[in-house]
Amino acid sequence: MNPTEMTRMKPQILIARAIFPEVIAKLAQHFDVESNPSDALWTQAELTHKLQGRQGVFTTGGERIDAELLAACPDLKICANMAVGYNNFDIAAMTAAGVLGTNAPDVLTETTADFGFALLMATARRMAEAEHFLRAGHWTRWRYDMFAGADIHGATLGILGMGRIGQGIARRGAMGFGMKVIYHNRSRLDAATEAECKASFVGKEELLRSADHLVLVLPYSASSHHAIGAAELAQMKPTATLVNIARGGIVDDAALAVALRNKTIAAAGLDVFEGEPKVHPDLLTVPNVVLTPHIASATMPTRLAMAHLAADNLIGYLIHNKPLTPLNPAVLAL
């Protein structure tokens, strides 16, 4: 067999967005790779077309893998997401089609928890608002209440969604800032993990009512859609801050903009948005919100580790039949 024939025999994969050249090079050792160095945003039809004859796809969280695409891509065997969240995958449809999904957990936990805490502090201490004021040349003198915000230390930290990232935020709050930590989750943590995080389980209503700062770290699904809307915001303290580093759609952004304008709550920090990268126009006009463009896991070492994990899932499954972080392991038994 000559080298050209050997190359032809490699499984074919698509990398849907621009990623680290070294990760592309690693994948190219095993696969016939089509990458996207210009980082073009493909339509669903273009993605489907590019997946023809390909066994694997490296996705980054924005590409929708649904029943329609799967039906049109019969050679596809694995979709490897470079994200811990995978609400871009219709997992039931993938399982039905015998297509494995993988995500990128663990490698981003501490980086994302760091960012959640940074966004919480920036929000409670009004850093963005104060910086805009300074840059605009409005700072002419000291004032006793200028940009007075809310304390972090000693406050009650509420966490909705207590997976690995939620636990990381709890540890930072309890051990770094002496916060009282309460959480709500679909299922209660075991006693040892609760003790390690110094966190107490409460019902959702108590969480909303008691938290001085509420951080959202739950996965997005039909059941968490608008988990925080007008009714929930109305139950929170008027001095409270809300931070969303989970997914757009968990918060009703229109209702949040109204609540921020009416001071139903004091402030919000948002890294994720409904329909992002579009941002609800009313959020852009209220001053008491800190807005960042979905960067909670964005440090170079963490993004590189996420990309390597997605690549290792493709290699692990298509070459060795051993994916590292399968989401629907039922496919492996098929």
Binding site for ligand GLV (CB under 6 A): 61, 83-85, 108, 297
Q: What is the dihedral of CA 203, 208, 209, 211, to 10 degrees?
A: 100
Active-site residue (options: 213, 280, 294, 303) = 294
Give the nearest residue (CB) to ligand GLV.
85
- Angle at 217 (CA atoms; ends 215, 219), nearest 5 degrees: 150
Task: Find the shortest distance in angstroms from Cβ 84 to ligand GLV.
Answer: 4
To the query of whether residue 274 is one of the catalytic residues in this protein, the response is no
Task: Find the shortest distance in angstroms from Cβ 311 to ligand GLV.
Answer: 15
* Residue 19 · residue 58 · CB < 8 Å: yes
Q: Toward ligand GLV, which CB reaches closer, 39 or 46?
A: 39
Task: Find the shortest distance in angstroms from Cβ 162 to ligand GLV.
Answer: 16
Token pair recorded at residue 20: 């680290």
Which are the contacts of 16, defined by CB distance < 8 A and separation ≥ 6?
36, 42, 47, 57, 58, 59, 60, 63
Q: Toward ligand GLV, which CB reaches closer, 203 or 293?
A: 293
Which are the contacts of 241, defined by CB distance < 8 A and separation ≥ 6?
120, 123, 124, 150, 212, 213, 214, 265, 266, 267, 268, 269
Task: Find the shortest distance in angstroms from Cβ 52 to ligand GLV.
Answer: 28
Q: Toward ligand GLV, which CB reaches closer, 54 or 303?
A: 303
To the query of whether residue 276 is one of the catalytic residues in this protein, the response is yes
Q: Toward ligand GLV, which CB reaches closer, 268 or 296?
A: 296
Please give the radius of gyration of the chain, using alpha carbons only, rounded to the nearest integer.
Answer: 22
Q: Toward ligand GLV, which CB reaches closer, 31 or 273?
A: 273
Task: Find the shortest distance in angstroms from Cβ 87 to ligand GLV.
Answer: 9
To the query of whether residue 125 is one of the catalytic residues in this protein, the response is no
Distance of alpha carbon 131 from its chain centroid, rounded?
A: 26
Pairing of strands 180-184, 199-201: parallel
Active-site residue (options: 164, 171, 276, 308) = 276
Active-site residue (options: 247, 274, 280, 303) = 247
Catalytic residues: 247, 276, 294
